[in-house]
Amino acid sequence: MSTVIRIQSEEARRLKKDTAFITFLNEVRENQLITFATSSAVEIEQREEAHAIMRALNLIEAQLDAAIGDEVVLNHSK
């Protein structure tokens, strides 16, 4: 179990440091912000989709942070 936590934590750290990955996330986030900001009042579905994508990006980042945090907890419990 601790090996799995350490591997996931290392992979999460690698992704968070990967400039291509971070650039990709930021581009997707920026595109969704533009979609949200430029949509008209009747384009509810477009705004909802942009919002859902933004939430998904936030969940991905939270999952990476959680994987890193799991290793910190593991190290402190030993």
pLDDT digits (tens, 9 = 90+) for 23-55: 999 999 999 999 989 999 999 999 999 999 999
Burial of 77 (0-12, 13-18, 19+ CB in 10 A): exposed
Share of residues in the chain with pLDDT > 90 (%): 87
| pLDDT at residue 1, as a whole number | 79
Q: What's the pTM value of the predicted model, to 2 decimals?
A: 0.84
Residue 13 tokens read as 């750290």
Confidence of residue 17 (pLDDT cuts 50, 70, 90): very high
Read off the DSSP letter of residue 9.
H
Q: What is the mean pLDDT of the chain?
A: 94
| pLDDT at residue 29, as a whole number | 97
